[in-house]
């Protein structure tokens, strides 16, 4: 019989191999090296950090800071694994407040690259330098203050891993993104990034808004809502962009916990849920939010790269972030445009009841073309005089503040043109009315008060056997939604009542769309998981259609409703409902003053 194989002997791994294995957890590309270096510089109290890269950071990463420096006797120890000045006990670990603390970064980098550390401790006569080569000694060096960490030739001793690096341009982009992520959380620190001798990023010291503008752009701030809410030992600040600034990818989502950039599923889900009434489909919201929480309530030691965290009470954190972001995004237009103070919970002000419509019968459920509706595309002296007088006549214009101004007329039956203190307001009337109806339907359904409007003459239309079956099986649920349906033959359905808010909609097309969704998803899923999509479909059918001519009182009534409706900046699909052209922008278009 063959001799049984002896089991392999257990042995200790060489120190170098241990360090290289550990490096694989921390160092996966130049950007991860740069991140660790920047965190150490910030923990040292730096106010200005300079970064030099060559070949996307593969050949060289040099980070220079003006922090407090490292003492001569600690330089060699700083390159040793599990050596740190930031924690000394389990209690320190559970309440860690620094960005770096594991004591592995420099040792891990030194295991896969050539590393040199130069530093001058505050009060020292001169600087000292040490390389990570075996047997290297500390030697005098020239440096005014702070620390310089220089990494050369990443993966020079592990060529197999070097093959997995991307192109120089890709690695440079990743490094630049790492700098931006850290710089967003530290606006009081200046950053400068140069690549192959050319400066590519310069961020002077600033405040939080100025730094966000420099990195994310003015468009992000202009198309976002500020968030600043606190409760006990937890607080969230920052900006949530409106759906008009949404992206096809999740590359504009910056989330921080105690100043540390994280990719946390719990926080991402909470923020995504806050957009559920505003952003549908595959678009990703953009945001930059900073969560401050008691360090003892969050574990930042669950991932070697420290990009993941674990909360002691995840559900409470989720609900806090969700409600804070939702309130910030849900404010009425009147509140957001007037700069009204936030409510007691720190979110957007609660919407006031909408004013009554200004003209008898001018309600959105029963709009009809009028002979006195005036349009901008029919200019004449008489027409201009007529709509100018009507737009400013006391009887036709509601009193009080009007952030969206007062209507001047319609453009091609699609847009409402209005004048406010800033200049010209342009409103997509279908999109705006769709949002108004959607919010009203939501409120009515939540309060189980969906009023039904009986039709004087039932609407009869052809229906398939599947439509008839869906209508009969879900008759009670449809009635709760405000619909009264009845089959009147093997191939026909009659609509005898519709929700009062949607009485202007075409009953046949509305019911057919509703029945199609019922067949696909079932009433349970439709009412629970897909409720918002269902109501959005209903609102779209009920909203005023393009080419409908409106009177000036009807236009003004729509503007007033917009001002008092939550999330009125966007329709139910995330598209904008209005835009503003200031007098300065109009003057520029016509070269006035030039």
In a shared domain, residues 236 and 194: no
Q: Which of 562, 527, 552, 284 is nearest to 434 (CA)?
A: 562
Residue 394 lies in a domain: no
With 0.75 as the threshold, say if the pTM is over it: no
Taking only the tens place, the pLDDT of each residue in 313-348 is: 999 999 999 999 999 988 766 666 654 434 433 433
Say if CB 241 and CB 278 are below 8 A apart: no
Residue 107 lies in a domain: yes
Give the CA count within 13 Å in the CB-facing half-sphere of 170: 5
The per-residue pLDDT for 527 is 72
The per-residue pLDDT for 386 is 33
In a shared domain, residues 34 and 140: yes
Residue 584 lies in a domain: no
Ordered alpha helix ranges (H), 186-313: 208-216, 218-222, 265-274
In a shared domain, residues 140 and 277: no
Residue 176 lies in a domain: yes
The per-residue pLDDT for 23 is 55
3-state SS track over 133-196:
CCCCCCEEECCCCEEEEEEECCCCCCHHHHCCCCCHHHHHHHHHHHHHHHHHHCCCCEEEEEEC
Q: Which two tokens stand for residue 492?
A: 């026909």
Q: Which regions of the chain are under pLDDT 50?
A: 339-400
The per-residue pLDDT for 347 is 39
Instruction: Using the 3D structure, point to which of 542, 559, 582 is the last residue of a domain.
Output: 542
In a shared domain, residues 184 and 230: no
Q: Which two tokens stand for residue 450?
A: 């969906």
Residue 347 lies in a domain: no
Instruction: Using the 3D structure, point to which of 272, 295, 329 is the last residue of a domain.
Output: 329
CATH of the domain at 456: 3.30.1370.100
The per-residue pLDDT for 581 is 93
Count how many residues are written for the chain. 594
H/E stretch holding 230 = strand 224-231
**DSSP single-letter state for residue 495:** E
In a shared domain, residues 150 and 47: yes
Backbone angles phi, psi at 535, to 5 degrees: -65, -35
Q: Is 233 exposed, middle or buried (0-12, 13-18, 19+ CB in 10 A)?
A: exposed
In a shared domain, residues 161 and 296: no
Task: Please give the angle made by the CA atoms of 581, 585 and 591, to the nearest 5 degrees.
Answer: 140
Q: Is 412 exposed, middle or buried (0-12, 13-18, 19+ CB in 10 A)?
A: exposed
In a shared domain, residues 81 and 185: yes
Question: In b/e form, how buried is each residue of 427-437, taking b as 16+ CB within 10 angstroms?
Answer: bbbbbbbbbbb
Beta-bridge partners for 409: 417
The per-residue pLDDT for 337 is 60
Number of domains within the chain? 3
In a shared domain, residues 195 and 291: no
Residue 274 lies in a domain: yes
Q: Which two tokens stand for residue 25?
A: 């957890």
Diameter of the chain by CA atoms? 113
The per-residue pLDDT for 534 is 79
CATH of the domain at 217: 3.30.230.10
Instruction: Using the 3D structure, point to which of 203, 226, 246 is the last residue of a domain.
Output: 203
**DSSP string across 377-423:** TS--HHHHHHHHHHHH-TTTS--S--TT-EEEEEETTTEEEEE-SSE
130: Cβ contacts below 8 Å, ≥ 6 apart: 75, 76, 79, 116, 117, 136, 137, 138, 139
In a shared domain, residues 187 and 264: no
Beta-bridge partners for 140: 128
**DSSP single-letter state for residue 574:** S
Tokens 């009841």 belong to residue: 353
In a shared domain, residues 25 and 118: yes
Residue 130 lies in a domain: yes
In a shared domain, residues 84 and 142: yes
The per-residue pLDDT for 138 is 93
Q: Which of 430, 433, 399 is nearest to 412 (CA)?
A: 430
Q: Is 7 exposed, middle or buried (0-12, 13-18, 19+ CB in 10 A)?
A: exposed
Q: What long-range pairs does 291-294 form, CB within 8 A, spacing at least 24? A: 291/234, 291/235, 291/236, 291/255, 291/256, 291/257, 291/258, 291/267, 291/317, 291/321, 292/234, 292/235, 292/236, 292/237, 292/258, 293/233, 293/234, 293/235, 293/257, 293/258, 293/317, 294/233, 294/234
In a shared domain, residues 142 and 24: yes
CATH of the domain at 148: 3.30.565.10
Residue 216 lies in a domain: yes
Q: What residues make up the domain containing 526?
A: 450-542
The per-residue pLDDT for 470 is 86
The per-residue pLDDT for 100 is 59
């Amino acid at each position: 019989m063959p001799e049984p194989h002896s089991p392999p002997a257990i042995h200790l791994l060489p120190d170098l191999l241990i360090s290289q294995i550990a490096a694989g957890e921390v160092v996966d590309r130049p950007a991860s090296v740069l991140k660790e270096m920047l965190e150490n510089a910030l923990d040292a109290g730096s106010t200005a950090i300079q970064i030099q890269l060559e070949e996307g950071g593969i050949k060289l990463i040099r980070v220079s800071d003006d922090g407090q420096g490292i003492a001569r006797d600690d330089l060699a120890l700083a390159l040793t694994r599990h050596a740190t000045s930031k924690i000394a006990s389990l209690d320190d670990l559970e309440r860690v407040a620094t960005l770096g603390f594991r004591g592995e970064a420099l040792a891990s980098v030194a295991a896969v690259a050539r590393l040199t550390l130069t530093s001058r401790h505050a009060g020292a006569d001169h600087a000292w330098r040490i390389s990570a080569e075996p047997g290297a000694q500390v030697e005098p060096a020239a440096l005014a203050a702070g620390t310089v960490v220089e990494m050369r030739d990443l993966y020079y001793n592990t060529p197999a891993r070097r093959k997995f690096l991307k192109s120089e341009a890709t690695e440079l982009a990743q490094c630049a993104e790492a700098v931006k992520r850290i710089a967003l959380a530290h606006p009081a620190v200046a950053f400068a990034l140069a690549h192959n001798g050319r400066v590519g990023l310069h961020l002077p010291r600033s405040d939080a808004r100025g730094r966000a503008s420099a990195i994310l752009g003015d468009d992000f701030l202009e198309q976002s809502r500020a968030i600043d809410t606190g409760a006990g030992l937890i607080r969230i600040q920052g900006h949530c962009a409106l759906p008009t600034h949404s992206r096809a990818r999740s590359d504009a989502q910056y989330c921080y916990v105690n100043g540390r950039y994280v990719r946390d599923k719990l926080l991402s889900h909470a923020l995504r849920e806050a957009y559920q009434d505003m952003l549908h489909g595959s678009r990703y919201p953009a945001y930059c939010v900073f969560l401050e929480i008691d360090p003892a309530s969050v574990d930042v030691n669950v991932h070697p790269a420290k990009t993941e965290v674990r909360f002691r009470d995840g559900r409470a954190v989720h609900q806090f972030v969700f409600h804070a972001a939702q309130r910030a995004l849900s404010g009425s237009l009147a509140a957001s445009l007037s700069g009204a103070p936030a409510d007691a919970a720190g979110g957007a002000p609660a919407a006031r009841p909408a004013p009554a419509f200004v003209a008898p019968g001018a309600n959105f459920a029963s709009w009809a073309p009028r002979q006195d509706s005036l349009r901008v595309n029919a200019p004449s002296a008489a027409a201009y005089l007529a709509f100018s007088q009507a737009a400013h006549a006391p009887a036709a214009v509601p009193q009080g503040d009007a952030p969206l101004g007062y209507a001047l007329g319609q453009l091609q039956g699609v847009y409402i043109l209005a004048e406010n203190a800033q200049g010209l307001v342009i409103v997509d009337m279908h999109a705006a009315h769709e949002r108004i109806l959607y919010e009203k339907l939501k409120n009515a359904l939540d309060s189980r008060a969906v009023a039904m409007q009986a039709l004087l003459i039932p609407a009869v239309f052809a229906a398939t056997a599947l439509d008839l079956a869906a209508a009969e099986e879900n008759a009670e649920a449809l009635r709760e939604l405000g619909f009264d349906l009845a089959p009147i033959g093997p191939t026909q359905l009659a609509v005898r009542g519709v929700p009062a808010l949607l009485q202007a909609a075409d009953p046949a097309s509305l019911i057919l769309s509703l029945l199609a969704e019922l067949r696909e998803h079932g009433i349970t899923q439709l009412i629970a998981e897909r409720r918002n999509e269902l109501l959005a479909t209903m609102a779209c059918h009920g909203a005023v259609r393009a080419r409908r001519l409106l009177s000036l009182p009807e236009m003004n009534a729509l503007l007033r409703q917009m001002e008092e409706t939550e999330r009125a900046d966007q329709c139910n699909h995330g598209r904008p409902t209005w835009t503003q052209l200031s007098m300065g922008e109009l003057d520029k278009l016509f070269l006035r003053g030039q």
